[in-house]
Amino acid sequence: MRKSYNIAKLSFASGIHLGSGTGEEYDRSMRLLLSDTISAALCSVWAAGGNEVEPFMSSYRLSSAMPLYRGRLFLPLPPDKSCVVLKGDTDGKQHKRIKRLQWIEQPLWEKLSRQGSITITADMISACGSAIAQSDADKIYIQRQSLEQKVTVVDGDDNEPYYFDRIFWGEDVGLGVLYECDQSAKSDFERAFQLLADNGFGTRRTVGNGLFSVAFSEVEIDVDESLQGVQLLSLWYPTAEEWNPDAMSRSCYEVVSRGGYISGSSDIAQRKKIKKSVNMIMSGAVVATCSLTGDVVDVRPDGFDAHPVWRDGRALYLPFKILYDDEV
């Protein structure tokens, strides 16, 4: 059944540096723009306008960012790449090539979500080696890295060189964020996203990093709602009530630790304080359940009383065939 989903289409005007939350690591940027980062940035610009954050956040759910090549959406592959079979690889020598894959074009994802596996040919792997495409794979380069040497100038001291890592998206490549939103709050959500576009994501936005433009539309995705599993398009912080050991033993997922600075605080003096770290289920996971909820958790450090610091772990997902029928 084809269903319509809201999508925010992001086109970046510059490179972006996304901190890993483990310190001042300018020489290494995260490669993914994850749902909790997007949600936190939206709430930050919304709060900067004197608006209340909690009602605003409760009005939407959103995905992590996914590549768009000339309007063609690429969705995440499950972390277990055994669901992808490369035709002609009879001796398994292409294992590393398959392991690098992260994304699959929407019509192929629709087939994969129903079958639980898909067979591809070598010419369907993108030029960067991270995506499976229906056509023009040799022209698709999702992302590139630029590691630049910079110098910190301190009066009276020797200059200190350091490296600054930025991520750029390839030619004709943007990012898509799927979202669900209360109809009454949709205009506020889109207005916050427009404000965020002018502020940007990541580090050193004052010199142009992370700036983008955004447009809103809809995308139709063919889903089978009779399937007994789901694939996460966002990070997921499960509630105690919904964590089911039996279901998770038949699920395919990775756990990621999320931390970082309180960089969105309205109090500039507080922006160097470190949030509490939490473990979350990564986007792309296939979970053996028909529905997920997730939770928002307050990660402000001990002794920080200025305001709550929310980590958004609410799940956005699509139906997907369970990859493991038995416990593994």
Q: Tell me whether residue 53 is exposed, middle or buried, using C-beta atoms within 10 angstroms of its C-beta: 0 to 12, 13 to 18, 19 or more.
A: middle
Q: Give Cβ neighbours of residue 312 (< 8 Å, ≥ 6 apart).
A: 35, 36, 39, 40, 57, 235, 296
pTM: 0.89
The string of pLDDT tens digits covering residues 165-178 is 788 899 999 999 99
Of the chain, the percentage scoring pLDDT greater than 70 comes to 81
Banded pLDDT at 328 (limits 50, 70, 90): very low
CA count, 13 A, side-chain hemisphere, 315: 25
Query: In the structure, what pLDDT confidence band is assigned to residue 149 with cuts at 50, 70 and 90?
Result: low
Higher pLDDT, 31 or 290: 290
* Cβ contact 278:311 at 8 Å: yes
Is 9 in contact with 176 (CB distance < 8 Å)? yes
Residues with Cβ within 8 Å of 235's Cβ and at least 6 positions away in sequence, in order, are 34, 35, 36, 64, 256, 258, 280, 281, 282, 283, 312, 313
User: What integer pLDDT is reported at residue 261 of this predicted model?
Assistant: 66
Interval 178-219: pLDDT, tens: 999 999 999 999 999 999 999 988 766 666 677 899 999 999
**What are the φ/ψ torsions at residue 245 (nearest 5 degrees)?**
-55, -35
pLDDT at 243: 92
Model pLDDT, residue 41: 92
Per-residue model confidence (pLDDT) at position 327: 46
Q: Of 192, 165, 197, which Cα lies nearest the Cα of 181? A: 192
Element (H, E) at 249: helix 245-249
Sign of the four-CA dihedral 125, 129, 130, 136:
negative
**Averaged pLDDT, 41-46:** 92
Mean pLDDT of all residues in 260-281: 68
Burial class (CB in 10 A: 0-12, 13-18, 19+), 119: exposed
Is the predicted pLDDT of residue 24 greater than 80, yes or no?
no
Which of the pair, 45 or 17, is modelled with greater confidence?
Answer: 45
Q: Is 157 exposed, middle or buried (0-12, 13-18, 19+ CB in 10 A)?
A: exposed
pLDDT (average), residues 81-103: 87
Q: Point out the least confidently predicted range of 52-61, 224-233, 252-261.
A: 252-261
